[in-house]
Chain A
Amino acid sequence: MAVQTAPTRRRFSREEYYRMAEVGILGEDDRVELIEGEIVEMSPIGSRHVAFVMNLGRLLTLRLGERAFVSVQSPVVLTADTEPQPDLAVLRPRAYKERKPQADDVLLLIEAADASLAYDRTTKLRLYARAGIPEYWIVDCAAESVEVYRNPGPEGYRDVTRAAGTATLTLRAFPDVALTTTEIFA
């Protein structure tokens, strides 16, 4: 007897995903990401999310100067069927006009989470670690804390720390660049 299976979803490649945008199936109002071939809707964002992403964007840009680029909610290509749009990414400086940011351009990736906390800690974490993203922060908007993940491996990140209250965070790629949780959660 045949093994009973639930029919599977058709997964889409990045090319097919771009083509959907080209032909108007996906439009400007679609806040979506491509995650392992599935087109996933990004959760609506609240005021805390907006504020904390703005703070981080501003602080990182000012403190990094010309040493790195700060990208906000722009796509990062991870694999043939995965292209998330993280809230923030600190990128190696290069020309991005012809080629979108790839995993190896990313020095730090940040997701701000309100409704998506569990997803950012499981699915997203696994994808980012597998892609070798060297440092990943999850900003818990409700708790006003930052989880810092370093040392990616195939199973996840080996080192995790959590910053809350009055703490100072530095970037693995730029240890002289510091941000305080007070500043982030202003």
Chain B
Amino acid sequence: MAVEVATTRRRFTRAEYYRMAEAGILGEDDRVELIEGEVIQMSPIGRLHRAFVGNLGQLLSARLIGRAAVWVQNPLALTDDTEPVPDVVVYRPRAVPFKEREPDAQDTLLVIEVADSSLAYDRRTKLRLYARAGIPEYWIVDCAAETVEIYRDPDGPAYRQMTRATGAATLALPAFPDIRLTLAEIFA
């Protein structure tokens, strides 16, 4: 491990992070996120991760067509020094097009992270950031266990409600109570 003793790393703002991309310091091969000022490499994508992100993207896009925007693996700016790249985000419709102003936490209805090797990180660090940002609903899809953890009602750095969907469960979206997804479909 490089830094044996606690020392202060230089943290970067979103502006500096974008500047790194513009300057060619971060390139297309860099699968990175900006988390509290640190440029973090995203875990490599395994087969299960790929499959479940694909399924979720397709299912949600199809079922929410005309009613919400579904983005897959696009950056979501949360604060001045944090911009993760969640696996799936469902955005409420809004008047200002995304091309004019990027989406932020207030535009989100649901953020989904699909976790194979990053489960602990998604449950701790990502959860804290999403809750703090006021993201109303957050799902962690556990690839290995084929379950979905559903977090609702953000309160400070945590969510007040957590349920786990397993087996033959069906998930609903609070903003669209008529929309259903089954775990079987997600984990197909």
Contact = CB atoms under 8 A, between A and B. Distances in A.
Contacts of B65: none
B164 interface: no
Given A4-B119, A25-B23, A25-B25, 10 more contacts: A3-B117, A6-B121, A9-B40, A10-B26, A20-B20, A20-B23, A23-B22, A25-B12, A39-B9, A40-B8
Nearest to A41: B8
Interface stretch (A28-36, A62-70, A91-99, A102-110): A28-36
A35 B2 contact: yes
Contacts of B39: 9-10
Contact of B42 (A7, A24, A37, A119): A7
Interface of A: 1-10, 12, 16, 19-20, 22-26, 30, 32, 35-41, 43, 116, 118-119, 122-123, 126
30 contacts: A1-B116, A2-B143, A4-B118, A4-B119, A5-B117, A8-B41, A9-B39, A9-B41, A10-B39, A10-B40, A12-B25, A19-B24, A20-B23, A23-B25, A25-B19, A25-B20, A25-B25, A35-B3, A36-B3, A38-B3, A39-B10, A40-B9, A116-B7, A119-B4, A119-B5, A119-B7, A122-B4, A123-B2, A123-B4, A126-B4
Given A25-B16, A123-B5, A30 B10 contact: yes
B7 A40 contact: yes
Contacts, number: 93
B80 interface: no
B106 interface: no
A154 to B, nearest CB: 16
B38 interface: yes
B23 A19 contact: yes
- Majority SS at the chain B contact face: loop
A17 to B, nearest CB: 9
* Size bin of chain B's contact surface: 35 or more
Contacts of A26: 10
Nearest to B126: A7
Contacts of B22: 23
B5 A7 contact: no
B32 interface: yes
B19 A1 contact: no
Given A7-B40, A10-B40, A23-B19, A40 B117 contact: no
B144 interface: yes
Given A5-B117, A10-B30, A10-B32, A41 B23 contact: no
A40 B10 contact: yes
Contacts of B7: 40-41, 116, 119, 123
B43 interface: yes
